[in-house]
Amino acid sequence: MIPYNKPFLSGKEIEYIRQAVESGKISGNGLFSKRCEAFLQERYGFPKVLLTSSCTDALEMAALLCDIRPGDEVIAPSFTFVSSVNAFVLRGAEIVFCDTRPDFPCIDERSIEGLINSRTKVIVVNHYAGIACQMDVIMAIAQRYGLFVVEDAAHAINGYFRGKPLGGIGHFGTFSFHETKNIIAGEGGMLVVNDSRFTERAEILHEKGTDRSKFFRGEVDKYTWVDLGSSFLPSDITAAFLYGQLMNLDRIQAKRSRIWQLYMEGLAPLQREGRIGLPVLPEYATNNAHLFYVLTSGRGERDGLIDYLASNGIIAVFHYIPLHKSPYYLKDHPSGRLPHTERYSDSLVRLPLYFELEDGQIDYIVDCVKGYYDSAK
């Protein structure tokens, strides 16, 4: 059986966990947390990185930092994970969903401006599959209307927009190290604070609303409750695992890119025959090989392909159910139409992509996809 995803050890994860325990401190903001944050700041030029327990946590921190109040509106894609918007709903925001581009499933930057009104406060984007949204246009709109931009970069580690690392362009970037992402720690995430006006408050929210970070730097002589906050920080055991992965980031990325490329080459003939669609990369984006998808003609063909692959021992999966069609949203909103979002939801199938996937398995998966289309001729 070939699973869709498989957690892996890239090198010293276990050794670092042992070191963390032996150092005598495995709570948050320990030795390995600091190492991870320093590595990520250095590698991507991020001004401030705070490790979190998840991308969901990082998004909740971003919503707090944007000072979302009941009645504020947040423009977000519907084709994203629920946490991209739940974080803002928790603060009382109203979500206004935006369709994706027709050619790839990122928010359509051309549809954003028409959704802005005097209550709009934030634009959330999801760099789907690690492929950049059109950030020049989005940042210009945000500047014109005085809005915050939060990049949900859960898919997007090591992805770039015109040479800028994703997550480092908006006011805030949020990342995930969930076991299904490129770089993993089981559960884990980080908040990137790109606007230095928010750095101090971010540290406070991160430490349960206290000025404990200042205390540890010797800037205050005791720490106390100074703001809202929660326990957003991961254990140093998680950070130790993560550090092991980060030390092999280039090797992990190279392996994923190779898998992605083999799929692309193997499936290109089916695309040329017009039988499937394959990922499109805009000229301004790099490819971090977060996921590989094929586009089928619709739900019947999609389910047929998933079933056919399953009967051949391969787990392939579709992706988001559009948030604007979710039971929670429809409870108090009328049902609307976002045609491209709905098309991607109905037609997209993700193929297995993980560090330990072998060339022979990729060939087999490609052959099975072809086999499905041959049998359906």
Residues that bind ligand PLP (CB under 6 A): 54-56, 80-81, 83-84, 126, 152, 154-155, 176, 178, 189
Nearer to ligand PLP, 29 or 83 (CB): 83
Q: How far is the CB of 81 from ligand PLP (least distance, A)?
A: 4
Nearer to ligand PLP, 30 or 105 (CB): 105
Number of residues in the chain: 377
Nearer to ligand PLP, 190 or 240 (CB): 190
Nearer to ligand PLP, 59 or 314 (CB): 59
CA distance 187 to 51: 11
Tokens in use for 270? 């089916």
- The secondary element (H helix, E strand) that includes residue 190 is strand 189-193
Nearer to ligand PLP, 121 or 155 (CB): 155
Short-list 292, 266, 256, 343, CA closest to 79: 343
Short-list 262, 273, 257, 261, CA closest to 367: 262
Tokens in use for 73? 């509106």
Q: How far is the CB of 279 from ligand PLP (least distance, A)?
A: 16
Q: How far is the CB of 24 from ligand PLP (least distance, A)?
A: 28
Tokens in use for 289? 């090989």
Nearer to ligand PLP, 5 or 83 (CB): 83
Nearer to ligand PLP, 325 or 370 (CB): 325
Q: How far is the CB of 169 from ligand PLP (least distance, A)?
A: 16
CA distance 85 to 187: 19
Q: How far is the CB of 30 from ligand PLP (least distance, A)?
A: 20
CA distance 272 to 206: 50
DSSP label at residue 2: B
DSSP label at residue 167: T
Q: How far is the CB of 342 from ligand PLP (least distance, A)?
A: 18
Q: How far is the CB of 80 from ligand PLP (least distance, A)?
A: 5
C-alpha dihedral (276, 279, 281, 285), degrees to nearest 10: 170
CA distance 123 to 109: 10
